[in-house]
Amino acid sequence: MRRTAVIAMLAAVTFALVTAVTLAACNGDKNEKMGIEQAYAKHEKELRDIVGSATIAIYSGQGNDRIEIQVDKGEKTAALEAAVPDEIEGYPVVIVEQEPYKPPPIDIQGTIKKITPSDVSGQEQGAAGSILVVADETSGSTYDKASITITSDTTIWRPMGEGKDFITFADLREGDYVIVDLTGPVAESYPVQATAADIEVMPKI
């Protein structure tokens, strides 16, 4: 009888210990900090509602986990700072101002006014010919007029869907609207003289 009571007591103590350990483990899981990716996913909509199309970046590692709201210079307003939470699920949220993206300048964008095929000597040196391009005043071109040599290394193409339709010097026509990237030295005559690296022939409207 006494032995049975002792066994029952030991069983009760073991059950109590197991229960306590299990509850402690469960509480530990509940208190464990979620990962920064999960934290962002959980609150992404509310952040998007605040910052709109601004870029949101997640940085983690070396104990510096954070969520960044990236805006152009001058867009870090008091209203935005007040609306963005200081932290999300224990991770700091910071607003970072960046210089707005500026596309590289266009060498020349405009209309082909004249096409001159190379003579035999020019062809022997790898030049297919030259074009005279007058820039569109609204294009922001670096040069307003240019005499451009086209060589065997020049890429000439038309947009085709999301790809390119490659053409040759012989396919160019006076009146074509082109965007030209130059390569090498530019002779500062007027018009300037240079060699084309790339010529995009825009579709006629």
Which CATH number do you get for residue 124? 2.40.50
Q: How far apart are CA 149 and CA 116, in angstroms?
A: 9
Domain assignment of residue 86, given as a range: 36-98
CA 86/CA 92 separation, integer angstroms: 6
The reply to whether 125 and 196 lie within a common domain is yes
Tally the domains of the chain: 2
Do 184 and 115 fall within a single domain? yes
CA distance 169 to 118: 11
Domain co-membership, 87 together with 112: no
CA distance 23 to 33: 18
Tell me, yes or no, whether 89 and 151 share the same domain: no
DSSP designation for 17: H
Partners of residue 61 on adjacent β-strands: none
Residues 68, 92, single domain; the answer is: yes
CB 165 within 8 Å of CB 180: no
**Among candidate residues 56, 79, 98, the one where a domain is terminated:** 98
pLDDT by residue, tens only, the chain of 205 residues: 444 443 444 344 344 434 444 444 444 445 577 899 999 999 999 999 999 888 999 998 877 899 999 999 889 999 999 999 999 999 999 999 988 878 788 999 999 999 999 999 988 899 999 999 999 999 999 999 999 999 999 999 999 998 999 999 999 999 999 999 999 999 989 999 999 999 999 987 6
Among residues 77, 98, 119, the one where a domain terminates is 98
* Strands, sheet with 55-59, edge to edge from the N-terminal-most edge strand: 55-59, 66-72, 91-98, 87-88
166 and 115, same domain (yes or no): yes
Q: Among 80, 98, 116, where does a domain finish?
A: 98
Whether pTM > 0.75 for this model: the answer is no
* Distance from C-alpha of 20 to C-alpha of 170, rounded to nearest angstrom: 86
